[in-house]
Amino acid sequence: MRNAGLFDLQVNGFAGVDFNSTAIGADALDHALDAMARTGVAQCLPTVITAPEAVLGDRLAALDRAVATSRLGPAMVPGYHLEGPFLSPEDGYAGCHPPTAMVAADHALVERVEAGLARPILLLTVAPERPGATALIGWARARGKVVALGHTAASFADIAAAVEAGATLSTHLGNGLRRMLPKFDNPMIAQLAEDRLRASFIADGIHIPPTALKVLLRAKGLERSILVSDATAAAAAPAGQYELAGMAIERAADGAVRLPGNGTLAGSSLTLDQAVRNLVDWGLASTETATQMASDNPAALMAPALEAHELPPLPPRGRGQFAQRTG
């Protein structure tokens, strides 16, 4: 065990700050990162979601400038998570991502939006059934990026091909799915059955009921499971309206974050330390194991990418300090 600090692989915003805003600056980023650090997070991958290519480029450029000029960004943000635009536009799989901005998988698009960034895109979430996805996965892995599968209607064969090409993670498994699926032949079962895939989970009790999460964790195995927040600007903030990538979102009193009017979940208000506490409170893991799922497990997944891009590994954090937060 490395006694690593928490490492959040999927965070869209925090403490009133939207990481997808082109108006984000160093002060706003520091405000969000300082709030995250107070929850035990040592590193994170700010997540930029589906948008037209020009918008993605502008959002990543603004975020990258904020990281480079901020006080905490250089230490806490090794790179970025691009969730889309290579996702399934089908109803029920797209989630809050705009289907009209989704396109076939294309490594040239990634190269264009990444060009000029001081920090790399380290994690890509793609739907493996999209045209060009297998080639994109191989291209990304050859360049030291981690590839995850998510917002996908993939078949067992699609999942197998993606893993052979180099995919190693399922993004927020159990979500980004239709409510009604074939009993066995569905993307969630296919990813659970693939032992070469790790899986991330949003343990807020809203995205996945605790009883269902118990089953998913048993199937995937705690050693291959990773906790993420999928936090938005509504995390570490009161109930009310916020913004995510140009969309209005609303945090309800119960902590659920949805698109006003249609009830679609739009990220979360979860903090990663609360996810750890939730697993312990629900009897799904010990404090040590739950902490590992939010620290050592994501760090191990990302270690090759950090090394490939000559980035420093996750800095150590005393276990006792975090134990006080979770005990």
Long-range contacts of 143-148 (CB under 8 A, 24+ apart): 143/308, 144/120, 144/304, 144/305, 144/307, 144/308, 144/309, 145/120, 145/121, 145/305, 146/122, 146/301, 146/302, 146/304, 146/305, 147/123, 148/123, 148/124, 148/200
- Check pLDDT > 50 for residue 206: yes
The answer to whether residue 179 sits within a structural domain is: yes
CA 51 to mean position of chain CA atoms = 16
Q: What is the three-class DSSP state of 164? A: helix
Q: How far is CA 147 from CA 5, 127, 128, 176, 179, in A?
A: 23, 10, 10, 17, 25
Amino acid at 148: A
- Check pLDDT > 90 for residue 261: no
Q: Residue 208's pLDDT band (boundaries 50, 70, 90)?
A: very high
Computed over every residue of the chain, the mean pLDDT equals 94
Range of the domain at 20: 6-326
Dump pLDDT digits (tens) for 312-323.
Answer: 766 555 433 444
The answer to whether residue 95 sits within a structural domain is: yes
The answer to whether residue 193 sits within a structural domain is: yes
Q: CA torsion, points 158, 192, 189, 255, in degrees to nearest 10? A: -110
For residue 104, give both structure tokens: 């076939």
- pTM to 2 decimal places: 0.94
- Check pLDDT > 80 for residue 325: no
Longest dimension (CA), the chain: 50
Beta strand 169-170 with 198-202 is: parallel
- Residue 316 is predicted with a pLDDT of 55
Q: What is the three-class DSSP state of 254? A: coil
Q: Residue 263's pLDDT band (boundaries 50, 70, 90)?
A: confident
> What would you report as the CA-atom Rg of the chain, rounded to the nearest whole angstrom?
18
The answer to whether residue 194 sits within a structural domain is: yes
The answer to whether residue 227 sits within a structural domain is: yes
* Alpha helix ranges (H) inside 5-48: 26-37
The answer to whether residue 1 sits within a structural domain is: no
- Check pLDDT > 50 for residue 193: yes
The answer to whether residue 137 sits within a structural domain is: yes
Region 114-143: what's the mean pLDDT? 97
More confident residue, 312 or 283: 283
- Check pLDDT > 70 for residue 136: yes
Residues carrying an active site annotation: 230
Peptide bond into 238 cis (omega under 30): no
Pick the range with the lowest mean pLDDT from 101-110, 217-226, 280-289, 305-314. Answer: 305-314
Region 7-25: what's the mean pLDDT? 98
Determine the Cα–Cα distance for residues 321 and 295; give it in Å rounded to an integer: 14
Contact 282, 210 (CB under 8 A): yes
Dump pLDDT digits (tens) for 19-33.
Answer: 999 999 999 999 999
Q: How far is CA 323 from CA 29, 62, 168, 218, in A?
A: 26, 35, 29, 24
Q: What is the three-class DSSP state of 93? A: coil
Q: What is the three-class DSSP state of 44? A: strand
Contact 187, 152 (CB under 8 A): yes
Q: How many domains does the chain have?
A: 1
More confident residue, 324 or 127: 127
Q: What is the CATH number of the domain that holds 151?
A: 3.20.20.140
Determine the Cα–Cα distance for residues 258 and 11; give it in Å rounded to an integer: 16
Give me the percent of the chain exceeding a pLDDT of 90.
Answer: 88
Determine the Cα–Cα distance for residues 200 and 170; give it in Å rounded to an integer: 6
Determine the Cα–Cα distance for residues 16 and 150; give it in Å rounded to an integer: 26
